[in-house]
Structure 1
Amino acid sequence: MFRSVSARQLWRQRCTTPSRGPGEGAPPNPQDLHNALRPAAHQLFKKLKDEQLWRLAEAVESKGRWDCGCVRLPWEARAGKQGSPPHVLLCRLYRWPDLRQASELKRLNQCENFWRKSREGTSICCNPYHFSRLAAPVVEPRAPGSCRGAPRSALPEGFTTKSAGGTQSNIRGRNDTTLSRSSTKEGYWCKLAYWEHRTRVGRLYSVTEPTVHIFHDLPKGSGFCLGFLGSESRSEVVRRTRMKIGQGLTLSYEQDGVWVYNRSEHPIFINSPTLAPVATRGPAVHKLLPGYSVKVFDSEQALSGYPVVGDGPCDPRSVRISFAKGWGSCYSRQFITSCPCWLEVLLSIP
């Protein structure tokens, strides 16, 4: 009984509280939203058992900081024609009030329904934090004249990087596939390199599981923890940016390519060869808001060939992600090496 009451109290509190930020939408009037969704939510809660209701309360209270498991509800596809499916209703209630239909959502692969399709008469997971919102690849708009004098490559010619251990290494050339050739035998599909400006901090992190979390601080979780990586000299700008990483992002290798889900409370900025428009001159930088997912590497497009953008050194299987700070022609930072904290994803998928 205590658990049921707590879940309902949490629901009422969340309905009358403005949203956290632009990534998860802000209703114009929280009370109107509360009144509109109240009857349907009450009917849904009546169908949940106490254990499932409490699990839902934990998921909402933690705001996805740790996985509370699936919130399962018996569901028939025919019932969806009479109103919003339960997962859409709860995603509107707790995360995106402006959500319109299920096709705008992407189920995350920690959900059991990701691995098996729901059949007629089976249960469906309605945990709102087992979903992300699909983001169409959008390049930051270029202001008139902003490209004048802008660099034509993501990195200056002849640029040399320095790791935290003091080892000098040249940026891989555009045709260097050493990592791709050796990775299949070693069993990983990508390696991660964390950078602060021009300095790589820590060692390369090999990823063998289909999904990996990259975060600064996470109460319950496993993956690549950037908070554990120390550096002898770290500027105040880097320290402030590191604090914004929070829950970070999830990187997943799926059937159609590689996806990124932004779990933090701040935007991340992405540059990838298969996200770049054909006519783009210079690096195309895509802004991904909190709570959204985007496919950062398209396997089908990679097989059919894609343009290598820019004149300078680059790796056609490298994805670069900056935390909280953008770069490129629309920003004061022209190169990603000017960003305080960024991640290099070295793909090795065939």
Structure 2
Amino acid sequence: AADGPTVCCNPYHFSRLCGPESPPPPYSRLSPRDDYKPLDLSDSTLSYTETEATNSLITAPGEFSDASMSPDATKPSHWCSVAYWEHRTRVGRLYAVYDQAVSIFYDLPQGSGFCLGQLNLEQRSESVRRTRSKIGFGILLSKEPDGVWAYNRGQHPIFVNSPTLDAPGGRALVVRKVPPGYSIKVFDFERSGLQHAPEPDAADGPYDPN
């Protein structure tokens, strides 16, 4: 059913239609109430990727001046660190993110980011090799005013979990499926301020105390 500029994209959510834009597109203009947003980007899929948000996620307007652009200016702190996992083992180093958006991919025709294709494949099982080779263009993580969004640039759905996706006070692990070409807010700034850090022993999935 259609209603003006909106169209029902599944039985539970609505999404505003938008045309292609030059990267990085102003995704923040879309309604923050939408659980999923359509994305017109290229191919591939995601393996296990964990995002660790830091306290520097939100920056108030006016905090930066022209002096911050000088060569002697102190390098800003990263707003998140990305870790790549295969099963319950972390592979490679933590990747610090300073820009507003970062690509996590196996191979790209152009651009930069966290390239999983450069990680060592020695002593990896055949299933891991096949899975990693399917990542392709991977995902785009974008820091927006309302939170951090993950954009699936692939041909296959991705599955995500985040403390701010879980029901408040719930103990069940909520996993969301994101179809190819769609996105989801994986970290909500407002909800994160209302939550307490979980006990490490209660963590389900990849966990690295370091």
1:249 to 1:116, Cα distance in 2 relative to 1, 3 A: closer
Bigger radius of gyration? 1
Please tell me the residue identity of whatever aligns with 2:156. H
Once the two structures are TM-superposed, the CA of residue 308 in structure 1 deviates from its matched residue by 5.8
Kept after mapping to 1: 8 A contact 2:102/2:140: yes
Once the two structures are TM-superposed, the CA of residue 289 in structure 1 deviates from its matched residue by 1.1
1:197 to 1:180, Cα distance in 2 relative to 1, 3 A: same
Kept after mapping to 2: 8 A contact 1:245/1:266: no
Once the two structures are TM-superposed, the CA of residue 232 in structure 1 deviates from its matched residue by 2.9
What CA distance in whole angstroms lies between the structure 1 residues aligned with 2:129 and 2:199? 31
* 1:220 to 2:110 alignment: yes
Ranges in structure 1 where 5+ consecutive residues have no aligned partner: 1-82, 89-95, 118-127, 132-176, 315-334, 338-342
Equivalent residue for 1:287? 177
* 1:236 to 2:126 alignment: yes
Please tell me the residue identity of whatever aligns with 2:139. L
What CA distance in whole angstroms lies between the structure 1 residues aligned with 2:28 and 2:195? 32
Equivalent residue for 1:188? 78
Kept after mapping to 1: 8 A contact 2:40/2:181: no
Structure number with higher strand proportion: 2
What CA distance in whole angstroms lies between the structure 2 residues aligned with 1:213 and 1:298? 20
1:310 to 1:269, Cα distance in 2 relative to 1, 3 A: farther
Matches within 5 A, 1:1-350: 103=16, 110-111=23-24, 114=26, 129=40, 180=55, 187-278=77-168, 280-303=170-193, 305-306=194-195, 312-314=201-203, 336-337=205-206
Ranges in structure 2 where 5+ consecutive residues have no aligned partner: 30-38, 43-52, 60-74
**Structural RMSD (CA):** 4.0
Aligned length: 166
What CA distance in whole angstroms lies between the structure 2 residues aligned with 1:279 and 1:244? 36
- Identity among equivalent pairs (%): 47
* Counterpart secondary structure, 1:260: strand
* Counterpart secondary structure, 2:143: strand
Once the two structures are TM-superposed, the CA of residue 281 in structure 1 deviates from its matched residue by 2.4
* Counterpart secondary structure, 2:16: helix
Equivalent residue for 2:71? none
Q: Larger relative contact order (C-alpha < 8 A, sep ≥ 6)? A: 2
Please tell me the residue identity of whatever aligns with 1:195. W
* Counterpart secondary structure, 1:129: coil
